[in-house]
């Protein structure tokens, strides 16, 4: 098929809308549902991300996309008991590819609500069963087992979007887009991200263990498909905080850092022990946890309000308890899609337990950034690669 008519463009008033190939066939097939314009932007960007993660790490990879930026991305690193509880998969047998998607979606469950899922490997029944219970708009993968496809076709009253990508497809070296009637053309961003980009280490601490190097590579590849400016925190084989589309880099660092802090706070014993009422919907539970962790905790615990969420009134998670919990965090990896212009980004990163950084380098203030890393014993690599994505 060379052309596909879409429901509409970015918005319902933008009709007609279609995708098409000037030469050859479309590199994907629609196995179920009807795609929209944004669905396909998410699908094609997320597929590139997981394909590159798999190539760089050798592990099955997954992503959770929303509005053309990832909410989460991960590779198949086994889940410990705490994360099994945090991700609501206690006692569930997960395949490697399902584990990767559970991690990707768990990075920022609120942002992943209504996501587009991407898998580097065949979608199996384990992954499909997890998706069946979550709010998601669609999925892209190179293949599906018959059982997985049958499960996914039950989702959203049969309208769940299922796309099969041709993993052998390679786009042309030149890519074009049109804005306001003006055509833009550029060489596609096929820069290879692997351990080689971490070789230049200008800081006093030059030690980046294998696990941290893997996390930096995950963060960098994630940023390659995140709307710029962007910053990504990663740990344990997954993104834990992504700041996308900010005009100021320090705002990216703060936004992503706040998300990383929430990811860590979700593992606090008080959060794990919250007495939710039986049958509470997962989105309601996610939203309630987010408010409970935030400075608005009193809102959910005020007289009477807690009863719609909890069987008994839980104790608040105090600012002092949050500060103490986050003070114990370390070993976090941080990547930026361009250079850090000031040391304030490092100061903020340190507050979220960052021990390893990968950034482009080349700022006139590199000396200040390096000195701030040295102040905290952070190991930093200058990649020499800028990863703007628009």
Q: How do residues 343-359 score in pLDDT, each as one tens digit?
A: 999 999 999 999 999 99
Q: Catalytic pick from 32, 39, 45, 66? A: 66
38-42: long-range contacts (C-beta < 8 A, 24 or more apart)? 38/10, 38/67, 38/68, 39/116, 39/137, 39/138, 39/161, 40/6, 41/68, 42/66, 42/67, 42/68, 42/115, 42/116, 42/138
Q: What integer pLDDT is reported at residue 296 of this predicted model? A: 78
Q: What integer pLDDT is reported at residue 138 of this predicted model? A: 97
- The architecture that CATH gives domain 3-165 is 3-Layer(aba) Sandwich (3.40)
Burial class (CB in 10 A: 0-12, 13-18, 19+), 76: buried
Domains of the chain by residue range? 3-165, 174-265+326-382, 269-316
* 66 carries an active-site annotation: yes
**Alpha-carbon gap, residue 385 to 347, rounded angstroms:** 23
Token readout for 382 is 């200058």
Specify the 3-state DSSP secondary structure of 117: strand
Element holding 212 (H helix, E strand): helix 210-224
* 350 carries an active-site annotation: no
For the chain, percent of residues with pLDDT exceeding 70: 100
* 229 carries an active-site annotation: yes
Fold match between 3-165 and 174-265+326-382?
yes
Q: Catalytic pick from 39, 45, 229, 345? A: 229
| DSSP character string of 373-387 | HHHHT-EEEE-----
* 270 carries an active-site annotation: no
**Alpha-carbon gap, residue 113 to 5, rounded angstroms:** 26
Does the pLDDT value for residue 306 go beyond 90?
no
Tell how far CA 168 is from the center of its chain.
24
Per-residue confidence at 206, pLDDT binned at 50, 70, 90? Answer: very high
Cα distances (angstroms) measured from residue 280 to each of 109, 118, 302: 16, 27, 19
> What's the whole-number mean pLDDT along residues 292-305?
78
Contact between residue 112 and residue 127 where contact means Cβ atoms under 8 Å apart: no
Q: Catalytic pick from 67, 270, 351, 389? A: 67
Give me the CATH topology for the region 174-265+326-382: Cytidine Deaminase; domain 2 (3.40.140)
Has this prediction a pTM greater than 0.85?
A: yes
Mean pLDDT of the chain: 94
The angle subtended at Cα 37 by Cα 36 and Cα 41, nearest 5°, is 115
> What's the whole-number mean pLDDT along residues 321-348?
95
């Amino acid at each position: 098929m060379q052309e596909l008519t879409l429901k509409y463009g970015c918005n319902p008033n933008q009709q007609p809308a279609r995708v098409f190939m000037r030469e050859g066939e479309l590199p994907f097939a629609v196995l179920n549902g009807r795609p929209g314009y944004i669905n396909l932007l998410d699908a094609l960007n997320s597929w590139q991300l997981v394909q590159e993660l798999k190539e760089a790490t050798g592990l099955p990879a997954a992503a959770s996309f929303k509005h053309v930026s990832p909410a989460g991305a991960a590779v198949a690193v086994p889940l410990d008991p705490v994360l099994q509880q945090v991700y609501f998969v206690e006692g569930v047998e997960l395949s490697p590819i399902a584990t990767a998607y559970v991690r990707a979606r768990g990075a920022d469950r609120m942002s992943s609500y209504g996501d587009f899922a991407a898998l580097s490997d065949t979608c199996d029944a384990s992954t499909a069963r997890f998706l069946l219970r979550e709010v998601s708009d669609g999925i892209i993968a190179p293949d599906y087992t018959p059982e997985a496809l049958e499960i996914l076709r039950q989702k959203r009253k049969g309208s769940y979007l299922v796309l099969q990508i041709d993993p052998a497809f390679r786009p042309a070296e030149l890519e074009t887009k049109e804005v306001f009637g003006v055509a833009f053309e550029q060489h596609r961003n096929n820069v290879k991200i692997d351990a080689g980009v971490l070789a230049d280490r200008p800081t006093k601490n030059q030690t980046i263990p294998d696990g941290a190097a893997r996390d930096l590579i995950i963060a960098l590849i994630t940023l390659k498909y995140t709307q710029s400016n962007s910053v990504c925190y990663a740990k344990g084989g997954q993104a834990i905080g992504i700041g996308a589309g900010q005009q100021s880099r320090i705002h990216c660092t703060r936004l992503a850092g706040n998300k990383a802090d929430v990811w860590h706070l979700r593992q606090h014993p008080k959060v794990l022990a919250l007495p939710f009422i039986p049958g509470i919907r997962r989105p309601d539970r996610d939203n309630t946890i987010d408010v409970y962790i935030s400075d608005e905790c009193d809102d959910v615990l005020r007289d009477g309000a807690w009863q719609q969420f909890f069987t008994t009134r839980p104790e608040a998670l105090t600012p002092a308890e949050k500060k103490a919990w986050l003070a114990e965090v370390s070993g976090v990896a941080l990547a930026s899609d361009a250079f850090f212009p000031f040391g304030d980004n490092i100061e903020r990163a340190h507050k979220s337990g960052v021990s390893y950084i990968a950034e482009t380098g080349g700022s006139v203030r590199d000396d200040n950034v390096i000195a701030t890393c040295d102040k905290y014993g952070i190991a930093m690599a200058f990649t020499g690669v800028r990863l703007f994505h628009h």
